Structure 1
Amino acid sequence: MKVMISWQLGIMQTCDNFATMPFRLEQLAQVVAYTPFLSGNKVRLVLSNLYGEADLYFDEIYLSKEEKFHVKHQVTYLKQKQVVIRRGHKLQTDPLTLKVQAGEKLYVWMKASRKQTYADVASTYATDLINASYGQKFDYCPSLRVNEYQRKSWFSLEGILVWTKHKPKVVEFAGDSLMEMGFVSQALGKLFLEEYPQQVTYLNTAVSGSRLLYDCPTDSLLLATYGQSLLKRKPKPNSVALSICFCGGNDLLLPAYSSQASKQVVTPAELVAGFRELLTSWPNPVVSSTILPAKKIQAQSEATRLAVNQELSSWSQIFDGAKLLVDGQGKLKPTYQLGDGLHINQAGGNLLAQQLLAFLKTNSLL
């Protein structure tokens, strides 16, 4: 029987829209490390310039299995070594023949000699599955850092496709910073690599600051990077097998930080209705969590959070993540957060991932 080989998503994290706060760099050299979830004998990169105001030019792009690129392979597009990403577009580079193994790191080195503005931005705090570093000198190979307290950002690169015989399920990690930072998705992804090799692959579409119900406020340059509401960011039909979401917290927090958002205070009924729409209207199964606590939250918003969680905790598609991480006062335990009372650390991500995997197995979602 002939084995069907096709391009599959090896690992991907989509870029956010930083058009209001773009990075203007004289030159760029960036290194991004990926851990693909699939084995195969060819790869392609997915590049993005959806949000920039001009075409982007990369003089050289290399791929290697070594962080220092002692042995490297040139990546081309339309058989040209200079890769141009047209404004408002994504592209897939030419196939590169290279044997890759699931769980084996690949390193991408992208170099641009001209002054450019980058508005397609991705970020992580966790560093085991994806890591990145950049500098503003063309002839430079940045070193990767491992520090869960530091944000690592990169530009216009979304992930790796693998030419493979495997037909994996695409698991999407969606929502807000609790997913984008990578601590939950990384921990669960590593469990997938161990327990479901070649069967599951990784897509992170989360946007820090995003809300479930409303698009980002536009009365601040930073807040305008928070993107569309999660309800508007549905996957395309048949593109995702399962979506795992953390959301709802910013619906409660942002009204205190934005005059525009202050007119969008949500009631428990509205937020519950939003979760119901999330779980029923997407083209694929969705699992979401109860809303995690936040240190700097107004009393009314905290009352809303508790009321919403009480309702959600009885739903079959809801995982009670908040219950796992709180102390006797209902706050995030210091052991599981970065010190701001809002964002979880890798220990918190590990605990959530272990319980999430058990939840997925119990509900036959993998």
Structure 2
Amino acid sequence: MTTTWIAAHRTAVIDPYEGFQLFESRGFADQTLRQTLRLAGEGEAVRIILSNRYGKEPLEIGGAHLRGDGIDTPLTFDGAKAVTVPAGADLVSDPVEQPVTAGQVLTVGLYLPGDTGLTTYSAVPYDTGHAAPGDQLTAPALRDAEEVPTGHFGIGADVRAPEGTRIAVAFGDSWIEGAATTPGLDNSFPAQLGRRLTRGWIVNQGISGNRLLTDEIGEHLLARVDRDVLAVPGVSHVLIHIGLNDFGLPGHIAFPEPGTPPTAAAFIAGLTALADRLHAAGLTVLGSTVGPYRGTVYDGYDSEAGQAVRREVNAWLLSGDHPFDGIVDVAAAVADPAEPERIREEFNSGDGLHVNDAGAKAIADAVDLSLLDL
């Protein structure tokens, strides 16, 4: 059987030097950092991907270690245990020749001997990480550890799987990334949807706060599509949810000025350009209606101007006059029947903007699996 490397976990990343920040960025110095990931698919071997994409200086890694069910081994990079990752670069480990399974949780430990400076990071990691002083790579449990709620160094994983294995990339904002779902349970809606599939799997490239047309938080979707979708090994389908922050963030924090949402025409043109780019690469592209957020606790986010654009964009998506291969009606899956612009109470995370685990499941259950013929 011929095999090849297929993405089994991905983490979309943010520049810690962005001018507009919703999440606290940080660095590390003479510390061991442990972070976990959950594999979406199985293979006969695994390799780990690290990122210094937005670091201003080379990243010194004094050692790396991988743990999981049946795995407890140092990671090497071209045979070396210690390595320096150039600023702006990603790094792929040597293969760990150990079979891995879908749903398996792996822990990646990094010893960071020098001052890393602010790191390439993500807002919603699979689970809360931990950092501890000194080199504790081989310690069964970290001593004097602190919790690290954000993800760092864009940790991803590939598995060596049968050639022809096809996967989907979930691409978009916080509703993709899984903000407000329970850490460590893998309950974002793409993850819960992935558990419904009988073949293939889904990797998550969501960024909380992300937009279609405007940079920060993270590069906008049209700018990051090549790296975060087209470069993902095994991708055949893309599932997109975007728009909440294009419509709501300008009224909450006007960055950049002026604090007004895009027009529906501009947003539709952006979605069309994104779909065309993905179709040109031969991918199946699934769009989705933009979720409800009326009454959110974030001041200024729920503006009449933004809501009007959302209604117009959703009507266009449901009309059939769109470039996508299918539409997931995310909004209908979680809307309050009495007030469709609000999240149903049992699905509301508490902020009126994000869904909880049950809401994410409702979206996953609403997807027609025939649209994901992997």
TM-score normalized with structure 2 length: 0.81
The separation in 2 between residues aligned to 1:231 and 1:26, in whole angstroms, is: 35
Pair 38,181 (structure 1): closer, same or farther in 2 beyond 3 Å: closer
Counterpart check, 1:308 vs 2:302: no
CA RMSD of aligned residues (A): 2.7
Aligned structure 1 segments of 4 or more residues deviating by more than 6 angstroms? none
| Alpha-carbon shift at residue 318 of structure 1 (Å) | 2.3
Which residue of 262, 268, 272 maps to 1:266? 262
Task: Report the equivalent of 2:21.
Answer: none
Task: Report the equivalent of 2:342.
Answer: 331
Pair 201,83 (structure 1): closer, same or farther in 2 beyond 3 Å: farther
Pair 306,165 (structure 1): closer, same or farther in 2 beyond 3 Å: closer
Q: Which runs of 5 or more structure 1 residues have no equivalent in the other structure?
A: 144-149, 217-225
| Alpha-carbon shift at residue 81 of structure 1 (Å) | 1.3
| Alpha-carbon shift at residue 47 of structure 1 (Å) | 0.9
Task: Report the equivalent of 1:223.
Answer: none
The separation in 1 between residues aligned to 2:15 and 2:266, in whole angstroms, is: 27
Task: Report the equivalent of 2:48.
Answer: 45
Q: Which runs of 5 or more structure 2 residues have no equivalent in the other structure?
A: 19-23
Task: Report the equivalent of 2:230.
Answer: 236
Task: Report the equivalent of 2:288.
Answer: 289
| Alpha-carbon shift at residue 299 of structure 1 (Å) | 1.4
Task: Report the equivalent of 1:174.
Answer: 171
CA contact (8 A) 2:7 2:232 kept: no
CA contact (8 A) 2:178 2:188 kept: no
The separation in 2 between residues aligned to 1:227 and 1:151, in whole angstroms, is: 20
CA contact (8 A) 1:289 1:320 kept: yes
The separation in 1 between residues aligned to 2:277 and 2:151, in whole angstroms, is: 32
Q: Name the count of aligned residue pairs.
A: 337
CA contact (8 A) 1:9 1:161 kept: yes
The separation in 2 between residues aligned to 1:4 and 1:158, in whole angstroms, is: 26
Q: How does 1:343-354 map to 2 (within 5 A)?
A: 343-354=354-365
Letter in 2 for 1:90: D
Name the SS of the counterpart of 1:310 in structure 2. Answer: helix
CA contact (8 A) 2:44 2:161 kept: yes
The separation in 1 between residues aligned to 2:57 and 2:6, in whole angstroms, is: 29
TM-score normalized with structure 1 length: 0.83
Task: Report the equivalent of 1:153.
Answer: 150
Pair 259,245 (structure 1): closer, same or farther in 2 beyond 3 Å: closer
CA contact (8 A) 2:329 2:366 kept: no
Pair 210,351 (structure 1): closer, same or farther in 2 beyond 3 Å: same
Name the SS of the counterpart of 2:302 in structure 1. Answer: coil
The separation in 2 between residues aligned to 1:213 and 1:187, in whole angstroms, is: 23
CA contact (8 A) 1:118 1:156 kept: no
The separation in 2 between residues aligned to 1:238 and 1:159, in whole angstroms, is: 11
Between the two proteins, what is the percent identity of the paired residues? 23
CA contact (8 A) 1:19 1:52 kept: no
CA contact (8 A) 2:171 2:238 kept: yes
| Alpha-carbon shift at residue 349 of structure 1 (Å) | 0.5
CA contact (8 A) 1:176 1:246 kept: yes
Task: Report the equivalent of 1:299.
Answer: 304
